[in-house]
Chain A
């Protein structure tokens, strides 16, 4: 077993463990903290795949976002957030069935995907992955349209939030 395999196994175990802990905690903040551990584990997996940019963005976006999520959890959930609450409700069975169906479907789909069994060609040591990614995002024969559509969507969300939050002049 190489060092990388050992790190991969340890991280995967950590991700699964904290994912399990996250959905079973009765305390909302504990669940959020376990979620952070799980997402950080995913960042470690990205590092193992030599996708440094993705790893850093994973930490930047998710861990920063979860701080905000926790604040909203504290502010918006009713009553005292430290109160222990039952994590499952009456629709537990349906959720379990849907999740199992979804998982099964994903396994079949990914199993049929040809890239699973083939090994990707190794990048040469001089490839600057960030440069390649940046060029691909703005290149017309790569991802420029999804990239622009995503930015328009984000802008629309931003303006929408401003419109919703704006004080109405008529109600003065």
Chain B
């Protein structure tokens, strides 16, 4: 294994040999694993500094502005200035707050996102730990995120923060349902819950086999992050800032960083589940290329998230719940049943791609007809006002 083909394994082997000279084996394993954890976690946290700049810049272009452009070339150093500002701010803890819970919550929110990166397959052989239940693990650590929001909202001892936390839990737990059901579709297609197997089995990207599931996954993931149009949990016109109303300085910064990192993470997960992960020309040979492919595909998913965020307004809370329970959940269940049956019958034949695509198309058609039918029914119920005289130009 040469350095150019696989630098991480090369370095890991070199460190193992170097430390093995004077340390017992258990310690060497411990130190090398610890280094791996630190590298993976810092990669995410350092990348988020770049992401915040990128998102501000792109959101600015969407809104016909320039975005940060003073600190450094293209405003690249703006985030560093913001970090310094956040660190030097006074750290205020409300007098009646529950101190321990209040201080743990922001840390937990970042940890919940960083934990996902433990099962992200960066390149062939580069994965924190290749759990055989990787997909389920991602869903499980997501519940720490919900918990951190609830802890933050409750411990602040502020009515608006608690209301924000209530909304957050209602929204996140609801949208977990279509997200998990949709995640079953790539699991079915890959016949494994392991993340590495998931990528390796995508000779044909799953987005071609399950296009609607891919869209549902992206939509419910955006709701899981709580970004516009699903940002009811921090709707500033209604409940000040939601669950992080009382947070100041870097503690607020941690919630902020967790949100951006989570948004990018769902882009990366979208790339892994539906866009073939690290796969691309030459990725097997030069593993660093695999990381580049994964990051590019992840940024593509992230761009869609940003696009939605800067385009759509916030939706109403009853619309948010109705959209989830009356549209996304039935649709994702229908897709799951359809994919399970068709993939069982045609899974190993050449017909897999056309049949699954046709199945997706027919589900889409049925959904469209059902929506048309219900909308016609609603139109009948709508009140029709008497025609009033209109001023006409003379």
Interface residues of A (CB under 8 A from B): 3, 29-30, 33, 36, 52-53, 56-57, 59-60, 63-64, 66-68, 70-71, 74, 82, 128-130
Would you mind naming 23 contact pairs between A and B with Cβ atoms under 8 Å apart? A29-B101, A29-B154, A33-B101, A36-B147, A52-B133, A53-B136, A56-B137, A59-B143, A60-B136, A60-B139, A60-B140, A63-B140, A63-B143, A63-B147, A64-B143, A67-B143, A67-B147, A67-B173, A68-B169, A71-B166, A74-B154, A82-B157, A129-B132
The answer to whether B140 and A67 have CB atoms under 8 Å apart is: no
Closest to B132 in A: A130
The answer to whether B143 and A130 have CB atoms under 8 Å apart is: no
Among A52, A60, A67, A74, which residue has the most Cβ atoms of chain B within 10 A? A67
Task: Point out the residues of chain B lying under 8 angstroms from A30, CB to CB.
Answer: 98
Closest to A60 in B: B140
The answer to whether A59 and B101 have CB atoms under 8 Å apart is: no
Measured in the bound complex, the distance between the Cα atoms of B304 and A95 in whole Å is 57
Closest to B170 in A: A71
Measured in the bound complex, the distance between the Cα atoms of B157 and A131 in whole Å is 47
Q: Nearest Cβ in chain A — how far from B107, in angstroms?
A: 14
Q: Nearest Cβ in chain B — how far from A161, in angstroms?
A: 13
The answer to whether A53 and B144 have CB atoms under 8 Å apart is: no
The answer to whether A3 and B147 have CB atoms under 8 Å apart is: no
Task: Point out the residues of chain A lying under 8 angstroms from B133, CB to CB.
Answer: 52-53, 56, 130
Query: Pick the contact of A70 from B26, B136, B150 — CB < 8 Å?
Result: B150
The answer to whether B136 and A68 have CB atoms under 8 Å apart is: no
Among B137, B143, B157, B162, which residue has the most Cβ atoms of chain A within 10 A? B143
Task: Point out the residues of chain B lying under 8 angstroms from A36, CB to CB.
Answer: 147
The answer to whether A67 and B136 have CB atoms under 8 Å apart is: no
Closest to B155 in A: A29
Measured in the bound complex, the distance between the Cα atoms of B139 and A130 in whole Å is 16
Closest to A29 in B: B154
Task: Point out the residues of chain B lying under 8 angstroms from A29, CB to CB.
Answer: 98, 101, 154
Task: Point out the residues of chain B lying under 8 angstroms from A128, CB to CB.
Answer: 132
The answer to whether A59 and B141 have CB atoms under 8 Å apart is: yes
Q: Is B51 an interface residue (CB 8 A)?
A: no
Closest to B138 in A: A56
